[in-house]
Amino acid sequence: MINIITRYQKSTELLIRKLPFQRLVREIAQDFKTDLRFQSSAIGALQEAAEAYLVSLFEDTNLAAIHAKRVTIQPKDIQLARRLRGERS
């Protein structure tokens, strides 16, 4: 398991599949304005940003779990990480 984690930590490839991510973006955008069109580079930039955010959030979440002397993250760790960042819940 550690080998898999290390491999993903060193890689720069996107981990979320492109088509499901694209569908999610289009579904969310549909709630704001219908008939929106996206350049493929825009979807790619959104995916890069989303994955970078999630990696950073999970790093902070893991630190919160370690601070609580646990090895498993819990929802309260994510909530704490987001609160410390000043994000709304």
Residue 1 lies in a domain: no
Query: Range of 76's domain?
Result: 16-31+38-85
Tell me 73's DSSP state.
-
Dist CA 52 CA 30 (whole Å): 24
Contact status, residue 32 vs residue 48, Cβ threshold 8 Å: no
Residue 2 lies in a domain: no
For every residue of 3-51, DSSP letters joined together read: HHHHHHHH--S--S-HHHHHHHHHHHHHTT-TT----HHHHHHHHHHHH
Residue 46 lies in a domain: yes
Residue 6 lies in a domain: no
Q: What is the pLDDT of residues 40-87, one digit of tens each?
A: 999 999 999 999 999 999 999 999 999 999 999 999 999 999 999 999
| pLDDT-based confidence at residue 36 (cuts at 50, 70, 90) | very high
Residue 47 lies in a domain: yes
Q: What is the pLDDT of residues 6-31, one digit of tens each?
A: 887 788 889 999 999 999 999 999 99
pTM of the model: 0.85
CA angle 83, 76, 45 (to 5 degrees): 60
Residue 72 lies in a domain: yes
Tell me, what's the pLDDT at 40?
A: 96
Domain harbouring 74, CATH code: 1.10.20.10
Q: How many domains, the chain?
A: 1
Residue 9 lies in a domain: no
